[in-house]
Amino acid sequence: MEPGLASRVARSAAQPLSGCLSRHSLSPWLKIQNHIYPMPSLCHKVPSTGKCHASMTTSYMETSDVTDLDWENLGFGLIETDFMYVAKCGTDGIFSKGEVLPFGPIALSPSAGVLNYGQGLFEGLKAYRKTDGSILLFRPEENAIRMLSGAERMCMPAPTVEQFVDAVKQTVLANKRWVPPTGKGSLYIRPLLIGSGAVLGLAPAPEYSFIIFVSPVGNYFKEGLSPINLIVEDKFHRASPGGTGGVKTIGNYASVLKAQKIAKGKGYSDVLYLDAVHDKYLEEVSSCNIFVVKDNVISTPAIKGTILPGITRKSIIEVAQSKGFKVEERLVCVDELINADEVFCTGTAVVVSPVGSVTYMGKRVEYGNQGVGVVSQQLYKSLTSLQMGNVEDWMGWTMQLNQ
């Protein structure tokens, strides 16, 4: 957690939005983990505990439990589901009650802050179905904390950790028939925080919307756990010091599309970026963190403001350390790719994706065992077993939802 954020999330009550920054309330999120939540009853209200906190209200119609979907061939693309969650927040920093509404278009003014000045954040997390039919969420409070941090950087109010987790829970349960069967994929959850209010001059928007939608997904890379092929980008940069590379703002992703398109046109899976100052230190792939393995040491670029603090990254580090690996968070030179035993990427969408080759300055480095290294396989199995509830959750990371 970045300096100062711990004290912000520890506050028990939020204050009205003032100027560019807001304070946010936080219920003790540690108590949320590993609890079993029942399906919320219609129009059941939970009293609000502070400002900038949507009342936890659910009002939606039940749908059929039958989903006509080819689970065996599920890719990573949008499949429209039944419901979405919406809450609003005005200039006073107080969110209205959250509602679960039918999935569909949202109305925005052409002068909305998000459309004109890119004032927006998003998160990504997943829900998994266990063999007994129950549904698990994986570390949703970490996404909530990251949104709080990003919101401060982008001059936005944000939902509390408690509200964020409750909204995710409601949205998943409302769309429970879209959670894939065990081993067939997951339900990808996309929370959005956007400046929805109209603004003409450059300034924070006067209104904000917190929205969550979901979609069943399979593998992000078509290769699945098979190795991907990366090219090191030497012309474009993803982020620069002092910018927004360290928060999950929407603008970070549009800027990588050109380099990614060029790379895919040449047959590569994705792009690996270098730092914008020295052009020699690894940063991250377009939407993934990167890890380099040498002997029993796993190295990954340190979080220093230009790299997104991935939740899967954090989880892999903790799992690796629990298994006796030495993990170093430091500057990782591009030259270290040449002698690496294996390389892999991590992210919510990909989980763990082994790298089969990296091409840099016209030279291609390939990794043994067709790129699927022993370490990446071990960590992938350990993490996915936790996420899917196939093993006892010794880390305390999952949240089970009753249906």
Identify whether 304 is a catalytic site residue.
no
**Burial of 195 by CB count in 10 Å (0-12 exposed, 13-18 middle, 19+ buried)?**
buried
Helix/strand/coil for 273: strand
Q: Pick from 191, 98, 107: which is nearest to 141 by CA?
A: 191
Region of residue 379 (phi > 0: left; psi between -120 and 50: alpha; otherwise: beta): alpha
Q: Which of 176, 184, 248, 266 is catalytic?
A: 248
Distance of CA 66 to the CA centre of its chain: 28
311 sits in which H/E element: helix 311-322
- Residue matched to tokens 């940063």: 283
Burial readout 125-162 (b: 16 or more C-beta within 10 A, e: otherwise) = bbbbbeeeeebbbbbbbbbbbbbbbbbbbbbbbbbbbb
Residues 6+ apart with CB under 8 A from 227: 354, 355, 356, 357, 367, 370, 371, 372
Contact 269/358 with Cβ under 8 angstroms? no
Name 400's bridge partners: 36, 136
Catalytically annotated residues: 248
